[in-house]
Amino acid sequence: MNKLRASVLMRHEVGLHARPSVKLTKLAKAFESRIDLGLSPDGPWVDAKSIVKVMATKAPKDSTIYFRAEGSDAKAALEALVTLVDGDFQDGR
Partner 1 sequence: MDDRTRRAAQRIEGRPAVPGIALGPLVRLAPAKHETSQSRTVAEEHRALVDALLAAKTALTVLAQHAGDDDAEAILSFQIALLEDDNLAEPAFALIAGGEAAHGAWSTALAAQIASFDDADDAYFRARASDLRDLRDRVLRHLAGEADQALPSGAIVAADDMPPSMFLATDWRDGGLVLRRGSPSSHVAILARSRGVPMIVGVDVDRLENGTDAVLDGDAGLLIVNPDSDTRAVYDQRRAEQSKARQAMTSFKGPVLTATGELVQVMINVTGLAELEGLDPSHVDGIGLMRTEFLFQGREKLPTEEEQYQIYKRMLEWAAGKPVTIRTLDAGGDKPIAGLTQQGDINPFLGVRGVRLSLRHLDVFRQQLRALARAATVGNLKVMIPMVTVAKELDQCRVLFEQALEALHREGRHAKMPPLGMMVEVPAAALTIEDFNADFFSIGSNDLIQYVAAASRDEPQLADLAQPSRAVFNLIRHVVEYADGAGREASLCGDLAGDPEQVAALLDQGLRIFSVAPGALGPVRAAIARYAGPVA
Residues forming contacts to partner 1 in the complex (CB under 8 A) are 14-15, 17-19, 21-22, 25-26, 47, 50-53, 55-56, 58, 60, 93
Closest separation in Å from C-beta 91 to partner 1 = 10
DSSP track, the chain? -PPEEEEEE---TT-S-HHHHHHHHHHHHTSSSEEEEESSTT---EETT-HHHHHHT-PPTTPEEEEEEESTTHHHHHHHHHHHHHTGGGTT-
* 17 catalytic per annotation: yes
Active-site residue, selected from the candidate residues 4, 7, 8, 17 = 17
Q: How far is the CB of 24 from partner 1 (least distance, A)?
A: 10
Q: How far is the CB of 41 from partner 1 (least distance, A)?
A: 23
Q: Which residues are catalytic?
A: 17
